[in-house]
Amino acid sequence: MAAAHMADPGAVMSAYDSVLRGDADWLLVGYNDPTNPGDDVAVYAYGPGGLPELKRRMLQDPDRILIAFIREDAPNHPGALLVNYIPPNTSPSHRARALVHSRRLGAMLQAHQTTLTVDSLSVLTTTAIARALAAPDETHVIELGQPEPTSSYDNITPPPMSAQKQIDPMRRSFSTQRSRSPSPPYPPRSPSPVRKRSASMFSSLLSKRRSKRHGRRSEELPPPTPPKDKGTPPARANSVAPLQYYPAHAAERYSPPVEQYFAPMQTSPSPPPSLPPKARESTDRLSYSSDEVIVDHPMRTPTMLELPRESTAIPSTSFVPPQRSSSLANRVASPPPVAHRVVPLPEKWSSVVVAPDPAERARRRIEAQRQRDREAAEALRLEEEHQQRIKAEREARRREELEEEARRRASIENEIRRATSERRRREQLEREEEERRAREIAERKRLARLRRQEEHRRLEQWRAQQAQAAEEAKRQEAQARRSHDMERKRKIEQAEAKVKTAAASDALVTGWVTLQTPEYPLAWRRRYYKVIGDTVFLYRNPKDMAQHLDQVELRGKLRALKEWNEGYEELESIPHSFAIEFTDERGPWSAFADNEEEKYKLLGLLHHAAGL
């Protein structure tokens, strides 16, 4: 399998350094392609906030394989670890690849002490992290629905026999003593194996799967057939070893296991029979009566167990021991009445044995019936008190609602009266204000009418003056235009006469001009021109005259040469400007010269070349 390829190793090491410096608490990496995890690993996020912030960020991608480096500052077990989050629907190949990449990443992030693998974020807790840091040499895998790898009961070491408290022998029911089948003691529980770090992650995965399959197969097997009675009951040992094994099906009903001793029953020792496998915890059923407990296990014979009166699990009256026959009393000594503890007893294979005394059982049934009657009467009394209390509360709420409704109506009526008086007062003020505004409007209208009349008189006088001034201005403008046209024509004729007398001189037929053509309406282009015959040639500069940029035939194609006041007002602000109009589809050209002399020289050349 190829090694993990970092998409950006610098980003990974930078985030790792931030966690080591204390600027951040966690670092989260993952694959670039979540649907097909390959070898490309990139940084998703890093920052402060501890485990809650890390889980919040991981919840954004619950279906991705993620690897986190988290620094824990707990006072008990401070340190750092790698957390592998592999969703439960991940294929085995992708899971194995992710574990290999986690080990390669751990070789880079050398500050981590151990690795914790989970398949659900609900099991990623501070307790799990603390347990993983407490045992850095072990492999920690927590899956949803399975217990955590370590337990608080695994570390409990029983005290030595000399330091243990001497507990009185447990009382046995008469049915158990007369049973032909002995009650086999529980074998001591073997210590839970500690998971060691395997040399290969694949071997640990395979062993885990085999253990799961073996566990399911053992749970599906039925329990063996219980042994039959052989006549006389086997002799019991004088002393029985302390009970150290705590049954799994009673772990939820009793306190943690304590050592108990069975009362001596027989003089000759007998080997204990083999204990059949226990049924599953979910199938155990427990039924109670007033002074007896019948533990009914599936596919097994029910057993009656008599409990002491001091037990808190089954309250009852004071215990009256059953009467025994003289032969039984001579054979087995009755233990003195002492305090007892309730401990789970192993299942028995004997048949159901009824209580030996019918009168005692009848008395107990009557007492139980009386107790049930008293409880029923007490329940009825409590129910009546509850109903009366509910009725009183309902009546109190109804009175409060009526009082609240009366207060609300009174408040509404007061509000209506106040609003009515306020509305009438406001209407009176509005009427007075309307009358005052009407008087003011009438006065303003009268004054405005007088002002308009005076303004109209002044405007009429001003209009007459403006009309006279406009007429005078038009006359002067027309006179100036005629004078300008005459001067313009004279200058053009003078320039044309110079061209005719000295046609061979280059200084008279060349010069600079700035043009704006319809092809480029927003750009002015400075060109060096030369007029040869009836054609004008345009160049970039006088040093580059080997190739002209444009040439224009003027004979028969030039319509007129106009000034700005002849329809080209945009040229008014440009000095020495004029317009050139053509007879073909070519649009008018706008042009201006460097000075007035150059302008009229160019106008004379164009006028002469076009034959105007």
pLDDT, tens digit, 9 for 90 and up, residues 540-566 = 888 888 888 888 888 888 888 888 888
Digit-coded pLDDT (tens) for 42-68:
888 999 998 999 999 999 888 889 999
Structure-block tokens of residue 57: 């960020």
Contact between 425 and 432 under an 8 Å Cβ cutoff? The reply is no
Look up the domain containing 513 and give its range: 506-610
Average pLDDT, the chain: 72
Measure the CA–CA gap between 583 and 559, rounded to whole angstroms: 5
CA distances, 202 to each of 93, 132, 207, 209 (Å): 10, 21, 9, 11
pLDDT at site 205: 56
Asked if the structure places residue 218 within a domain, the reply is no
Asked whether residue 484 falls in the same domain as residue 546, the answer is no
Q: What is the pLDDT of residue 521?
A: 86
Asked whether residue 487 falls in the same domain as residue 519, the answer is no
Q: Is the dihedral of CA 105, 111, 117, 123 positive or negative?
A: negative
Q: Is residue 487 domain-shared with residue 511, that is, in the same domain?
A: no
Do the domain assignments include residue 233? no
> In this structure, are 487 and 364 located in the same domain?
yes
Q: How many domains does the chain have?
A: 3
CATH of the domain at 573: 2.30.29.30
pLDDT at 381: 92
The domain boundary, picked from 122, 152, 182, lies at 152
46 shares a domain with 15: yes
**What is the token pair recorded at 454?**
């005076």
C-alpha 122/C-alpha 55 separation (Å) is 9
pLDDT at 269 over 80: no
Inside any domain, residue 349 = no
With a pLDDT cut of 70, the percent of the chain lying above it is 63
Alpha carbons 344 and 246: distance in angstroms, whole number:
8
Residue 450: per-residue pLDDT: 93
Residues 422 and 534 placed together within one structural domain of the fold: no
Q: What is the pTM of this model?
A: 0.29
Asked if the structure places residue 460 within a domain, the reply is: yes
pLDDT on residue 367? 92
Q: Does residue 254 lie within any of the structural domains?
A: no
What does the pLDDT read at residue 591?
Answer: 92
Local structure of residue 262 (DSSP, 8 states): B
Is 237 within a domain?
Answer: no
| Alpha carbon distance 116, 139 (integer Å) | 7
C-alpha gyration radius of the chain: 57
Question: For 76-80, 148-152, 524-528, 592-596, which range has the lowest pLDDT when averaged over its residues?
Answer: 148-152
Question: Residue 82 in 3-state DSSP?
Answer: strand
pLDDT at res. 217: 47
Domain end among 123, 152, 181? 152
Domain boundary among 136, 152, 168: 152
Instruction: Report pLDDT for 506.
Output: 73
CA 32, 37, 39, 41 dihedral sign is positive
Give the residue-averaged pLDDT of 159-168. 42
Does any domain span residue 273?
Answer: no
Confidence of residue 299 (pLDDT cuts 50, 70, 90): very low
Residues 477, 436 share a domain: yes
Condensed to tens digits (0 to 9), the pLDDT of residues 435-460 reads 999 999 999 999 999 999 999 999 99
Burial class (CB in 10 A: 0-12, 13-18, 19+), 487: exposed
Estimate the crossing angle of helix 92-108 against helix 9-21, to 10 degrees. 60
In-domain check, residue 445: yes
298 vs 608: which has the higher pLDDT: 608
pLDDT at res. 320: 43
* Residues 425 and 468 grouped into a single domain: yes
Per-residue pLDDT band for 148 (boundaries 50, 70, 90) equals: very low
